[in-house]
Every structure is written in C-alpha cells, then in structure tokens.
Amino acid sequence: MPELKQIMSFSAIGLDSPGLVSKITNRVLDLGGNILDVEESCRKGLFSIFLAIDFAASSRSTEEIRDSLRRIEEETGLKVILRVCDENVVARPEAADHVLVTVLGKDRPGIIAEVSSLLHRFNANIESCRMIARGPFFSMEMAIAVQDVHSETFSSRVEALKDMKENLKSLCARLNQSVVIQSERSYRQPKKIVVFDVESCLIEEASVRRFLDAVNQRIAPFGKRIAPHLQAEPGGWARTLVDQVDAFHGVPVQELEAAGRSLELHAGAVELLRILKTMGYKVALLSTGLDCFLKRIYEAEGADYAFCNTLQKDEAGNATGDLEEPVLTASTKNEILEFIMNVEDISRDQVVAVGDGSGGSRFMKDVGLSIACRPAGGALPADGIFSSDQMLNILYCLGITEADIARYRDAGES
C-alpha cells in the first residue's frame, strides 16, 4: 500500500447548508477511515470543518481516498484542503498546559492583532479563539497552549509564563480592556459560589457620601456625629463606621437603618447577583460593615450567605455603642469563606472571589477565579481586573455567553 495514506487532515470551508457534516463523515466511513479529531463550526452562514482521519485500516489506495474526498468540493460547493499528516505531529500528545484568556471591554480596532502578537512573542500557541460578545462591547475567549512558552527575560518556563501574564495585563490595560487569565484546570472546575467583598466592590461610590450625610443627620438630634473623613482604601467607609461605633451610643437602631436606605449597589452588581442566582450559583456577601446599614441590601438581594458586624442594642432598641461578638474583621473573611466551603462541601477551586485585592480581600487568594475591582497599588495578584461598572463581565469569565445573558435578562424581566 502507498506509504503516506495513514493519517490525513481534511479541512473544508464554504456556505453552510443542511447535511454537510453527515455527507463528509459518511464519505469517510465509506472509505474505511477512522476520525481521530474533529472540529466544526458554523458562524453567520459560513461553515468550516477540520478532521484528522486515520486510513491505516482502509483497503482503498491513497489516490482513491484523495479523489473521493476531493469530489466533496464539487458535490457541496465547499473549498476542500487535504493534507497527509506527519505521524510524529499527530502522535504528539495534546498540549498539557493551557490557560484560558478572556479579554473584555469597549470594542476598538487592533485588539486581537495586539494580543495575538504578544502571545506569539512568548511562543504561546492560540489553539482556539471565539468571540463571546461583539458590538460596542467586545469579549473574546482564547485557549492558549503554554507548554512551550519562553521569554527573553527569563530562562525558566514558569517565570516566562508569569512574565507573559503580566505583559498581557499591561497590554490590555493600555488597550483599555479587562483581561482574565485562568488555568484550564481551574476553568474546567465548575464554579459553585461567587463571593463578594461588599464595601469595595458592590456599593456604588456616589451613594456612600449621601449615606454618611444621612447617618450624621439621623444621629445629630442625639448629639452625635461621626467624623466625616474616610479611610483611604475603597470601602474604607465601612471601617470608619466600625472604628467610631461608640458614636452611635444611645441612638435608636431604627434611625440608623433608615440612614442605610441611602446606600445603593451598582446597577451592574444588582443585575449580576440576580443572573448568578437565576443560573444556580450560590452568592455570598462578606462585609466588616454594620448590619443596620446592610440588612436591607442583604434581604433584598437574596444572597445565600451574607456576613457583617452587628451593632449591639439594648431592650429599647438603642445602640449600646458596642459590637456583637464575634467581631468580623478583614482577616476573618477568609475564615468565613472556609466555613461556607465546608457547609457547601466545595473546594477552593469552585469559588469565584471578587474583592479589591487589598489586605481586606485575602479570601481571594488561591480560589478558582479571583477578580480584583479597582485594585490599589500593591494589591494581591488576581486572575482578572475589572472596574466596578464592568461587574457583569464576570459572567463571561464563567463561560456564559452574551446570548445566555440576554436569555436570563429576559427571564428576569418576565
């Protein structure tokens, strides 16, 4: 038998029509071929297919096989390309190490070109690439084989990979895009729970000033006032209130709850929480703030878990100026996440954590997917960086497409 007939690649592209896959695969069967690999897609009326076929067991000659497969071109109108594959290449195992890169942001020309050039510079191979959203908003997901990554700066592959990720983040920041880089192993692990740091990620910044004014208005008749200066880091307002909790001594807690009505979540955050719940994810909200301000939000958003500090009150319902024990601190948040994981019987890989990457967000470390919202300098490393108004984009990083989101939006509205 001819020497090169064993493994052939078959690629075809053209206008889509019903029955193409059936026609091609039946022809392969008739020729005694065994399909080793297949990838087919149909986008905007265009059809493409790739097959790797083993003809080792076929009784037909190579010429016969080629002629028969080429006839598909005339029969279907597809453009067909046939190649005999290098057995060594075919026999090589699939790349063992992949990362999944999701790029998201406002669309602009050149994003794909710049990202792919950078990956090429590090010898990372783009194995698949798909658009999740295209329009004013752009989202692209790429599976990158990184086992052969190298860098001019670092000799070790691990360091080179780290360098590539940092460069990719810098590039995306320059292109005004968010980027999330997940290991394939972590991405494949189904996520079960999404944990948010409430004050740094979910609360609308503009509402905080209104809220603090409302607090002072409510406590002024009782001769109380909280210092207006805020802790510098995002969400520092919650710590300000906890630090000055004795200022609430004697104030009816109901007054404070009324002030809490000024505190608002980002519009995107509200929608994100709703879609996550609709899709079956558990949602946990972690805060070191005070329950009298957060209770309304906790109840309204239907979180599965929500934790915060509680203002101690006397029998008349007035604040004593102390907190109920145990007091939750930034470092407690990770313990609470561990507790939730135990209750839910899930591993850290199944957790998505969203925080600001500061010391108060240590629970983000070593989870399946970590997203930092507006991280300050020196923030903990995260898989992705978003601004607060891009919160909804977290869904894309969970493999949820624009069409899925539209469907869940419709379901919510109806």
Residues near another protein (CB under 8 A): 252, 254-255, 257-258, 285, 291, 294-295, 298-299, 302-310, 317, 323-327, 339, 342-343, 345
Give the nearer residue to another protein in terms of CB position, either 8 or 283. 283
Give the nearer residue to another protein in terms of CB position, either 303 or 373. 303
What is the Cα–Cα distance from 358 to 183, expressed in whole angstroms?
23
What is the Cα–Cα distance from 261 to 256, expressed in whole angstroms?
9
Burial class (CB in 10 A: 0-12, 13-18, 19+), 43: exposed
Crossing angle (nearest 10°) for helices 236-243 and 205-219: 20
Give the nearer residue to another protein in terms of CB position, either 317 or 412. 317
What is the Cα–Cα distance from 357 to 376, expressed in whole angstroms?
8
CB of 331 to another protein, least distance (A): 16
CB of 308 to another protein, least distance (A): 6
Give the nearer residue to another protein in terms of CB position, either 152 or 325. 325
Q: What is the dihedral of CA 160, 161, 163, 164, to 10 degrees?
A: 120
Give the nearer residue to another protein in terms of CB position, either 74 or 315. 315
Separation of first and last alpha carbons in the chain: 65
CB of 342 to another protein, least distance (A): 5
Cα distances (Å, whole numbers) of residue 249 to 11, 14, 184, 246, 318: 75, 75, 52, 5, 7
Rg (CA), the chain: 28
CB of 255 to another protein, least distance (A): 6
CB of 318 to another protein, least distance (A): 10
Give the nearer residue to another protein in terms of CB position, either 74 or 325. 325
CB of 389 to another protein, least distance (A): 26
